[in-house]
Structure 1
Amino acid sequence: MKIYSYIVIFLVISLKLSAQNSHQQFESIDSVKHGSFNPNEAHSFHEWFKKGHVSGLFRSSTITTYRPTSDNFSAALGLGGRIYYHSAYWHGFQMGIGGIYTYNILSTDLSNTTENPYTPKWERQLFDLEDPNNKHDLDRLEELFIKYRYKDSYIKIGKMLLNTPLVNPQDSRMKPSAFQGIWLDWNEGHKFEINGGFFNKVSPRSTTEWIHINESIGLYDHLLNPEKEHETINTSGLAILGGHYLPNDKISVHSWQYYIDKVSLVSFNQLEYTQNAIKLGVQYFIQNSLEENHYLNANHNAQLLSGQFKWSQNKWQVSYNHTINITEDAMKFPSEWGAEPFYTFISRHRIEGLNEVNSQAIKLDLQPFKNWTALNIGFYGVYGSFNNNKEENTLTQISLDIQTHLKNDWKNLKIRLLNSYFITDGFAEGSFLYEDIFHSQLILNYQF
């Protein structure tokens, strides 16, 4: 009865707040937007810098996690910001540099020596996973690149933020993931686009250092549980290739290939069709190992299928989403590099590393106010089952995700309130998801 009581409470709360709007694909309020410039704007080397653009944000993030069964509570408040400078374009060239800083204003004990039986991983991820006791020296150089643009295509070299289905900033903490390498985007056909690149270094989300790609794989497991050894992988880097075809306004086709040298080859493909209020989508993921190592077996073959049926009206959207394994092997892609792209994804929900996944999600998004299109309320429920050592485990997550920004003088202030309740069954005692969890996060961003 306790579980059903919590579900009823969440439903009542969501209905009361529906007089106020968030959906998973609503404009991200967690990232900096950079201005665009006419390639001919600067007419001299001096103007190249003088006509540049400064942008950034100030952010505060508060996370709380409560486990009612064991009466275990953890919380953290982080404050910080990002500042970026992007030059104007001069003869097609642009230069960019940017950094980030964070302060631990207030938190419960986040160290490895905590007496709590559970690692406060979400609170730790606000700061520095490599040093949970570090409260002040949390700055990082995030961007340092040179870019050349020709018409609608460009090439970029250096440190940068990258946004692809599997490799992305996953920017809901204080520090997103950033990557070092080369990126090319060819978009001269407009209906057909190709992009891709090669990366040899990464600064994973919630860390402050730049490390080689081979050191980042499996790093989170070690940082959240130091008893687990961290072995580096013999790889020289990550190559990405994306192809995109939009024949008309109803159909979109995307295909992404991820090659991790000496580790694995991953293909992620997505087809979507939209007709009036109806949207149908299907995603197919396949991964094959290249060599045997402690990360993947020699014959590793993971295949997942994800589908979506979505119905949209002016002030609301509802969708049914389903993701399943069609082979026994689990999807294994470094969580240090980004969030997952499957239709069943919601914040705080991952299927990476889980065998024989059968995950179903219902997502309801509301925009209830006629004169306030910036307010979104999202109510999401995900139920997933999987096998762990041939024993069935289940996870139910219910989330209320509110995103909005204010008006007039405060139009650059954006707010996100995420509330989640986790109901788990079959997890080993002592694991992070062993018992029910209430989790909440409040993010305030002021962009400039």
Structure 2
Amino acid sequence: MRYLLLGIISLIPLWSHAQESEKKFEIKPDLHFRTFWMSTSYPDDFKNDFALGTSLGVGTKLSYGEHWSAKVSYRGFLNVWSSEIWEPDPLTNRGNRYETGLYDLLNPEDGAFGSWENLSLNYQSEKFDFGIGRMGINTPWINPQDGRLAPTMIEGATFNYRPEKSWEISVWYIYRMRVRGTKDWLRPGETVGIFPVARDVNGQPSQYFGNTKSDGVTVFEVSKKSQLGKFELSHTWAYNLFATYWTQWQNNWKSKSGLTWITGLQFGYQHGVENGGNSDPLLRYKDPNDKNWVVSGRFGLKKGKILSHLNFTKLGGEGRWLSPREWGKDAWYTFVPRERNEGYKSVEAFTAYLEYSPNSQWSVYSHLGFHWLPDVSDFQANKYAFPSYRQLNLGVKYNPESLRTMDFHLLVMNKEAIGDQELSAAQRYNKVEMIHVNLMINWRLN
């Protein structure tokens, strides 16, 4: 695919000479510099880690006339300064979970490397647009998850159709992916297991990494806007792994007093597909017999400079709800940055969000979440042996008016186990009893 795409892109300048004179060929450079400080601290017996990383994306957008464009970009990564994040924790012999994700998880000691990002040909009109090649993506279950030095990207094709202003239909086909925390472009099945694999349904270490077969993913989305809000439907089909059905309704209700009430409701259903990644049950990622459902809701209020909302999620069914952590963050309303609730048979979650934005430059926010999970000893229902936990996030965003191309984001997170749980060291390290700090700085030319 990439050789075909390179050939098409190389012909664009020739097309610009061959077509009518009013057609215009433009070149627009694109630069993105990102610096990320991350540190994780524990109260006593575990290994503390830190890392300062940078990445620089260099690219261009080639536009021809009103409809055609192509994007090309390359990103370099550098470990400026860090602890020995590639070394396991001495007490648990477990690897670092957070800081290593700034670089290449498949080669954690590689301090400098690069990767091609955008390499796409695009067409856009009033009614429809399409793209082919390497590009970004943002769907409920495959998304940028922009919590590291570079987002998750895909190689494939997309088509969007807008029959009228209130309707939009989108289709994605994903052939390969470069997931967050890696530099290589891999088939979907090859990406599953780059993040920790935890334990299988027999309580043994999972063996699906390197043994999962899935040659593609398709995503189908439909959205409709009306006076009653926005309704969205999506279907994610991961070949030979699973199918996830997702619906969401959201609406903001404005009152005469200046208040805006925020409401939202989500429903999801997931089942296994074919052999779940491998015909050998000991090597498979997903049990084909899994059938899970989820419901999530939101109720909030916006008044002037203050935004707040309460969220709940209930997950149930048979088997584990699985969506590769490599592919994106959770879609449900109770998602709190720096943790996911995936790999469980049941979840009950309640979160609260509060944001204060005094002006267009500053924003201060807080997440507070309570997440009740299956017992850590129940390996069939709790893949990661993760205890029920409370999470608190405090964040500050700053976008200076004098330099609109730059933004700053500070996030401090704390997680603690809920209740009086008897937890081993392995059930605490990387999971609870921590202070986790992120400082992100972005500068963009365009």
TMscore range, shorter length: 0.7 to 0.9
- CA distance in 2 between partners of 1:54 and 1:286 (Å): 43
Number of the residue aligned with 2:10:
none
Number of the residue aligned with 1:123:
99
- CA distance in 1 between partners of 2:18 and 2:245 (Å): 43
SS of the residue 1:215 aligns to? helix
Number of the residue aligned with 1:251:
229
CA spacing shift, 1:189–1:437, aligned 2, 3 Å = same
Number of the residue aligned with 1:279:
262
- CA distance in 2 between partners of 1:397 and 1:113 (Å): 24
1:415 paired with 2:423, answer no
Number of the residue aligned with 1:347:
337
Number of the residue aligned with 1:157:
132
Give the drift of 1:82. Answer: 1.2
Picking from 383, 395, 398, the partner of 2:392 is: 398
Q: Deviations over 1:114-161 (max 9, x none)?
A: 646443221101111111110012x11011111122324111011111
CA spacing shift, 1:91–1:347, aligned 2, 3 Å = closer
Give the drift of 1:433. Answer: 4.3
SS of the residue 2:168 aligns to? strand
State how many pairs are aligned. 399
Give the drift of 1:412. Answer: 1.5
Number of the residue aligned with 2:181:
206
Q: Which runs of no fewer than 5 residues in structure 2 stay unpaired?
A: 1-14, 199-204, 255-259, 277-283
TM-score of the aligned structures, taking structure 2 as reference length: 0.84
RMSD: 2.4
CA spacing shift, 1:79–1:49, aligned 2, 3 Å = farther
Q: Note if contact 1:305-1:326 (Cα within 8 Å) is conserved in structure 2.
A: no
CA spacing shift, 1:382–1:151, aligned 2, 3 Å = same
SS of the residue 2:195 aligns to? helix
Q: Note if contact 2:105-2:194 (Cα within 8 Å) is conserved in structure 1.
A: no
Q: Note if contact 1:149-1:155 (Cα within 8 Å) is conserved in structure 2.
A: yes
Give the drift of 1:235. Answer: 2.4
Give the drift of 1:56. Answer: 2.4
SS of the residue 1:336 aligns to? helix
Which amino acid is 1:413 matched to? M
Give the drift of 1:222. Answer: 5.3
Picking from 61, 65, 71, the partner of 2:40 is: 65
Number of the residue aligned with 2:4:
none
CA spacing shift, 1:43–1:309, aligned 2, 3 Å = same
Q: Note if contact 1:69-1:436 (Cα within 8 Å) is conserved in structure 2.
A: no
1:299-318 aligned at under 5 Å gives the runs 299-318=289-308
Number of the residue aligned with 1:183:
158
Number of the residue aligned with 1:379:
366
Which amino acid is 2:196 matched to? D
CA spacing shift, 1:222–1:295, aligned 2, 3 Å = closer
1:264 paired with 2:242, answer yes
- CA distance in 1 between partners of 2:315 and 2:55 (Å): 40
CA spacing shift, 1:222–1:359, aligned 2, 3 Å = closer
- CA distance in 1 between partners of 2:295 and 2:356 (Å): 27
Which amino acid is 1:283 matched to? Q
Give the drift of 1:102. Answer: 1.1
Greater shift in the superposed pair: 149-158 or 438-447: 149-158
TM-score of the aligned structures, taking structure 1 as reference length: 0.84
Number of the residue aligned with 1:326:
316
Which amino acid is 1:298 matched to? P
Does 1 or 2 have the higher relative contact order (CA < 8 Å, sep 6+)? 1
Q: Note if contact 1:185-1:195 (Cα within 8 Å) is conserved in structure 2.
A: yes
Q: Note if contact 2:16-2:25 (Cα within 8 Å) is conserved in structure 1.
A: no
Q: Note if contact 2:187-2:214 (Cα within 8 Å) is conserved in structure 1.
A: no
Give the drift of 1:71. Answer: 5.4
Q: Note if contact 1:45-1:90 (Cα within 8 Å) is conserved in structure 2.
A: no
Which amino acid is 2:426 matched to? G
Give the drift of 1:332. Answer: 0.3
Give the drift of 1:382. Answer: 0.4
- CA distance in 2 between partners of 1:70 and 1:436 (Å): 11
CA spacing shift, 1:428–1:268, aligned 2, 3 Å = farther
Which amino acid is 1:145 matched to? S
CA spacing shift, 1:70–1:112, aligned 2, 3 Å = closer
Q: Note if contact 1:357-1:385 (Cα within 8 Å) is conserved in structure 2.
A: yes
Picking from 434, 437, 441, the partner of 1:440 is: 437
Picking from 120, 142, 148, the partner of 1:173 is: 148
Q: Note if contact 1:203-1:209 (Cα within 8 Å) is conserved in structure 2.
A: yes
- CA distance in 1 between partners of 2:18 and 2:387 (Å): 61
Q: Note if contact 1:217-1:232 (Cα within 8 Å) is conserved in structure 2.
A: no
- CA distance in 2 between partners of 1:307 and 1:78 (Å): 37
CA spacing shift, 1:71–1:185, aligned 2, 3 Å = same
Number of the residue aligned with 1:35:
none
CA spacing shift, 1:49–1:395, aligned 2, 3 Å = farther
Q: Note if contact 1:244-1:252 (Cα within 8 Å) is conserved in structure 2.
A: yes
Number of the residue aligned with 1:12:
none
Q: Note if contact 1:177-1:337 (Cα within 8 Å) is conserved in structure 2.
A: yes
SS of the residue 2:293 aligns to? strand
